[in-house]
Structure 1
Amino acid sequence: MLSLRGKPLVYLVTVVSSTGFCLFGYDNGLMGQIISEENFLNLIGTPNSAVQGFVVSSYDIGCMIGALCAVMISEQIGRRRTILLACIIHLIGDAINASSFSLAQILVSRIILGVGLGLFTSASPVWLAETTTADMRAVMVAVQLTFLIIGTNIAYWVDYGLGFLDSDISWRVPFALQAVYPLVAFAFTLVLPESPRWLAAHGHMEAATTALSALRDLPEDHELVQAELNDISSVIQLENDSASWSSLFQQGPAKVRTRVIIACAAQSMQSYCGINFVEYYAPFILKNSVGLSDNLANLVSGCSQIWFLITSFFTWFLINRMGRRRLFYLGNMGMGGCMIAISVTLWYDSSASDIVTVVFIFLYLAFFTWGWMSNMWTYPAEILPLHVRGKALALSVFFLWANQFWTVEIAPTSIDNIGWRTYVIWAVLNFACCIIVYFFFPETSSLTLESVDFLFSSSTGIRDTVSKSEKIFRNKIHLDVGAAAAAAIDEQDIGGRLALNR
């Protein structure tokens, strides 16, 4: 175990989680250019657009399998061990992927890689959420999502630079570089503490106290450490469930079923925004929808990722100030408007409209990173109850990959067959997501994870929960450690009484 304590220790947990998301972003950017390279296409038999789509989306099949595996094992073996297992599986896939000589090997290796990433992305957000404080949590997740974009940037520019080589090196080296990320994550995870919430939920209170003391840089008998442990214990008693499979779908006083549905919906709706369509196929879209040359399409795609990275830094400052719900609104309305504009400019089809199309693609990426990117990975971990958090988040990640699979799979075919009308579909889906957020997504900004549990248990239904959470946020009430039960008080006096806990 490292001698680090307090915020530096939390930062290192963030680094490990960020490494996994950097790998996530790396694959997002990797295949967009490789799937268009002649050397690679010759290796896999120069397939049609449907097969090309499956080569790319096969990764998502593996991610779905990995997420389902996480549902079954993450709560039993813990967050750390799940991440370590994910790294090992990914490294096996890396070895097969970089040495492939047939379509079958490529598909098998990408599925294995996906299993590793599915496990990682199911466990790391929970681990991060359960080790940070309420005020740090969203910012740390925003940081890890910035690393996702850094990964995409690395992939784009590695692909672009090696794309000038007329040999297998142009795609084998980018495939091989994926192994760097799980190696780094594995090394750091070995020396980091397990989630104190997972330890407490499994009866390891002494280890939970030690871990929480290190994470908060306070003595084990300090009142704040004991208060947080009491909150965790109270929530465990409130939920009073064995976390069996059936517990994911039982309502109970903690409104478990409702919260699992919200988490799964949040992860699914990321795909309905159209980001996978744009991210995975940016060079393909610029060549086939906009009409740019191969080199120019790859260059513009790389520049779009630099822009994506720059805009992601604003999320660090927005996510706690604006709250989760308002950022969701901002993202969906902005992305929907951009998709409408793109469909119009592609329909008009002129040199000037092509330039405008590229501008709106850049704007679309900005609205996604502001509204959904960090929010999507923060929100499900916040909304879920402790006793099912590992399984339920893994299930929600399964829905992410399942929906990402079909959006990635249909992209080349939809562009070939319905052209500009494809973007109208994404616009409608974005506006529909905005409505769902308004009615069914409570605000969780500035609440401890335990406060969210008490908020749900004190409400009569989802609309009541949304209303109370909005009142807490509008009045700038911050529920700190030891004040979680305050979320359960009556809505009519919530302003006056919670003011005592600011």
Structure 2
Amino acid sequence: MGGGAAIAGHVNEGYLQYVNPARKWYNNRRLMALNAWIVLYLITSSTNGYDGSLMNSFESLDIWNDYFGTPKGGRLGLLNAIQNIGSLAAYPFAPYLSDGLGRRLTVWIGATIMLAGVAVQAAANRLNMFYAARFVIGFGLTFATNSAPMFVTEIAYPPYRPQLTALYNSLWYSGNIVASWTCFGTEFINNNWSWRIPSILQGMPSVFQFFLVLWGPESPRWLVSKGKEAAALRTLAHYHADGDEQDPLVLYEFNEIKAGIDLDRTVASNVGWSALWSTPGNRRRMLIIISIAFFSQWSGNGLVSYYLNAVFDTIGITNKTIQLLITAILAIWNLFWAVFASFCVERIGRRVLFITSTLGMLLFFILQTICSAQYAMHKNDAAAHAVIAFIFLFYAFYDLAFTPLIVSYTVEILPYSLRAKGFNVFNFSVSLSIIFNQYVNPIALDAIGWKYYIVYCCWLAFEFAFVYVFIVETKGLSLEETAALFDGEEATRALGNATHEIRVDDLHDEKGSGSYTPPNELKA
């Protein structure tokens, strides 16, 4: 922790003193434009959230069940897991596209693949066709979700970077809300359009990305990594300083990016897959990243996210309309708390949010377990209603950390050279944990009912101990210095010494000019 304090002091002497206090997102046209491009990438998470709620809602639609023969057991488990199986199939390729083709083009490729999958899903006339569509959606989603949050964190205006990156995963619930309320409305359509309309709407974020994303800017860090330093400088200057390439903030950012990437290139252990575990700092990164990936799905939330209807059945709430309504209201509740936490990451700090989140989840999951047991043994209606209340309170605490921070914390603690690969490992771990949940949870609920909740109570106690011991505070740090926090004082000192050594006049690229080039011309 002492190292973190030293780095924070260096940062306070760095970019923070160069930030123009008069330049705000609401009064600067170029910051507005930058944030508009960022929103185009943030909605990638909405697509993911939409799908996460879609199957839960479909399972409550009688027409969908009748059309596909009411999938049960292994068929239902495969139906929920097949999207993540598709994601697993794309993981070997995603980091190479992100680092090789760029963040922008990789997101566009992912959106294109997802649109194909959505078209097949909406037109499905048998269950195998539905399986195939969800596999394709998962395959494309991997490319988009690998690149989108990295783009956000690598191009955002520094004072807004933590909040915007945290918003990425929080917007999962925006898709969740649209899916839940759409299915609640289409339930009253007495034909197959009751599920085909929600299927079609799943492709809306990808439509925007397909037509717009290639016209936007590329990550300045990716541009520097490809030797396009002048293009990176123009992008930073255009959006962060109204086009002024000599602005102190822009120069500090550029020099720090250049120094960080150059530092990685000079150390052989900082590149390649083996680098993820070749140093003590990287091993600690991967321990944290893999752990929070599994925690994000193994905290009891998997029961609600994918099998809420089964949970309802265990407490006697069987009316399909009521189930859909509770699901839709819960989505709004989750979005509120996740967005609230996203704007608190710099004010409160990551470590405090993680500790508060796990402690609150443990408390309310224990209370949920007790009330579920009371209903199961005594058919107490008040206990059933209390379970619903505790689900909402449990999610309020879950959303303090495990919605906004799992993605933002992962991408910020990784150095640029490992960011795509390390984030791919995070996504891979999330998919594995979801697939496990989707197969095990329904079987366990059918076999032992409420007693299965006790397993999660014990696991949440372990999660609390882990985050208390291992989560490192990164509040107030720049992106490069956050990554350096894990590599010891030598790496931090080298980064600090190099940040002011690069001269803009020495930069050359294919344009041969320091003047600004519109974003869509920075592809080369």
| Shorter-chain TM-score tier | 0.7 to 0.9
Instruction: Find the residue that maps to 2:313 and give its secondary structure.
Output: helix
Aligned to 1:270: 296
Does the C-alpha gap of structure 1 residues 243 and 460 become closer, same or farther in structure 2, counting only changes over 3 Å?
closer
**Aligned equivalent of 1:221, options 229, 242, 246:** 246
What SS does structure 1 have at the residue aligned with 2:160? Answer: helix
Are the equivalent residues in 2 in contact too, given 1:21–1:144 (CA < 8 A)?
yes
Structure 1 residues 300 and 454, CA gap change in structure 2 (3 angstroms): closer
Q: What CA deviation, in whole Å up to 9, does each residue of 1:138-168 have, x standing for no partner?
A: 2113433443212111111111111123321
Letter in 2 for 1:378: S
Instruction: Measure the CA separation in 1 of the matches of 2:313 and 2:338.
Output: 26
Structure 2 unaligned runs (5+)? 1-27, 501-524
Question: What's the counterpart of residue 52 of structure 1?
Answer: 76
Match of 1:307 in 2: 333
1:187-198 aligned at under 5 Å gives the runs: 187-198=211-222
- Give 3-state SS (helix, strand or coil) of 1:81's partner: helix
> Is residue 387 of structure 1 aligned with residue 417 of structure 2?
yes
SS at match of 1:220: coil
* Residue in structure 1 matched with residue 138 of structure 2 by the alignment: 114
1:473 aligned residue: none
Cα distance in 2 between the residues matched to 1:6 and 1:386: 25
- 1-side partners of 2:228 and 2:116: how far apart? 33
Structure 2 SS opposite 1:419: helix
* CA deviation map 1:281-303 (0-9, x unaligned): 22332234443422222222222
Task: Indicate the residue corresponding to 2:313 in structure 1.
Answer: 287
Q: CA deviation at 1:312?
A: 2.9
Q: Which runs of 5+ in 1 are unaligned?
A: 466-480, 487-502
2:404 matched to 1:374?
yes
**Alpha-carbon shift at residue 30 of structure 1 (Å):** 1.0
Q: Which residue of 2 aligns with 1:14?
A: 38
The C-alpha deviation readout for 1:317-340, integer Å capped at 9, x for no partner, is 322211111111111111121111
Q: Which amino acid aligns with 1:302?
A: A
Give the letter aligned to residue 274 of structure 2: S
Distance 1:46 1:458 in 2: 56
C-alpha separation in 2, matches of 1:483 and 1:410: 52
| Deviation sequence 1:399-431 (CA, Å, 0-9, x none) | 111111211232222221121122222222222
Counterpart pick for 1:339 among 348, 354, 365: 365
Residue 170 in structure 1 maps to residue 170 in structure 2? no
Partner of 2:480: 450
What is residue 282 of structure 2 aligned with on the other side? 256
CA, structure 1 residues 5+204, in 2 after alignment: closer, same or farther (shift >3 Å)?
A: farther
Is 2:154–2:221's contact at 8 Å kept on the other side of the alignment?
A: yes
The Cα shift of 1:315 comes to 1.3
* Partners of 2:71 and 2:248 in 1: CA distance: 64
Aligned counterparts of 1:22 and 1:453: Cα–Cα separation in 2: 27
Give the conservation status (yes or no) of the 8 Å contact 1:209–1:225: yes
Matched, 1:412 2:442: yes
For the Cα contact (< 8 Å) 1:327–1:372, is it kept in 2? no
Query: Could you say which residue in structure 2 is the equivalent of 1:495?
Result: none
Change over 3 Å in CA distance of 1:285–1:68 after alignment to 2: farther
Matched, 1:316 2:342: yes
Superposition CA RMSD, Å: 2.5
8 Å contact kept, 2:415–2:484: no
Match of 2:10 in 1: none
Tell me the CA shift for residue 54 of structure 1. 1.5
Q: Distance in 1 between matches of 2:421 and 2:219?
A: 15
For residues 73 and 352 of structure 1, what CA distance do their matches in structure 2 show? 53
Q: Is the 8 A contact 2:98 2:106 kept in 1?
A: yes
Structure 1 residues 261 and 134: alpha-carbon distance in aligned structure 2, compared to 1, 3 A threshold: farther
SS of residue paired to 1:456: coil
Q: Distance in 2 between matches of 1:153 and 1:482?
A: 44
Task: Name the CA distance, whole Å, in 1 between partners of 2:413 and 2:134.
Answer: 31
Contact conserved, 2:366 with 2:457, CA < 8 A, in 1? yes
Could you tell me how far 1:483 is from its partner in structure 2?
A: 9.1
Q: Which moved more, 1:393-402 or 1:342-351?
A: 393-402
Moved more, 137-146 or 404-413: 137-146
The amino acid that maps onto 1:426 is Y
In 2: Cα distance, 1:313 partner to 1:72 partner: 31
Partner in structure 1 of residue 53 of structure 2: 29
3-state SS, counterpart of residue 246 of structure 2: coil
Cα separation, 2, equivalents of 1:10 and 1:266: 30
Report the secondary structure of 2:152's partner residue: helix
Pairing 1:87-166 to 2, within 5 Å after superposition: 87-166=111-190
Name which of structure 1's ranges 343-352 and 134-143 shifts more when overlaid on structure 2. 134-143
Q: Report if the CA contact (8 A) 2:118-2:137 is conserved.
A: yes
Identical aligned residues as a percent: 27
Aligned position for 1:477: none
3-state SS of paired residue (2:100): helix
Give the AA of the match of 1:187: F
Q: 1:291 to 1:82 in 2, by over 3 A?
A: same
- One of 231, 242, 245 as aligned partner of 2:256: 231
Classify 1:453/1:365 alpha carbon distance in 2 versus 1 (closer, same or farther; 3 Å). Answer: closer
Counterpart contact for 1:263–1:384, Cα < 8 Å: no
The CA distance in 1 between the partners of 2:437 and 2:452, in whole Å, is 11
Q: Residues 460 and 232 (structure 1 numbering): CA distance in 2 closer, same or farther, change over 3 Å?
A: closer
CA distance, structure 2, for counterparts of residue 483 and residue 446 of structure 1: 19
Task: Kindly state the Cα deviation for residue 222 of structure 1 after the two structures are TM-superposed.
Answer: 2.3
What is the TM-score with the length of structure 1 in the denominator? 0.87
Q: Single out whichever of 352-361 and 136-145 deviates more from structure 2.
A: 136-145
> Residues 179, 327 of structure 1: CA spacing in aligned structure 2 closer, same or farther, 3 A cutoff?
same
Paired AA for residue 279 in structure 2 = Q
Q: 1:330 aligns with which of 343, 356, 368?
A: 356
Deviations 1:47-72 (A, max 9, x none): 32232122012111112223332133
Q: Which of 376, 394, 401 does residue 364 from structure 1 map onto?
A: 394
CA distance in 2, matches of 1:459, 1:340: 42
Residue 372 of structure 1 and its aligned partner are, at CA, apart by: 1.5
Secondary structure of 2:343 counterpart: helix
Q: Which string of whole-angstrom CA distances, capped at 9 and with x for unpartnered residues, describes residues 218-264 of structure 1?
A: 41232321221211122123222473333333228xx3343233223
Is 1:86 matched up with 2:113? Answer: no
User: Is residue 75–residue 391 contact of structure 1 (8 Å, CA) maintained in 2?
Assistant: no
In 2, Cα distance between equivalents of 1:65 and 1:285: 31
* TM superposition score normalised by structure 2: 0.83
Which amino acid letter does the alignment assign opposite residue 461 of structure 2? F
Letter in 2 for 1:64: L
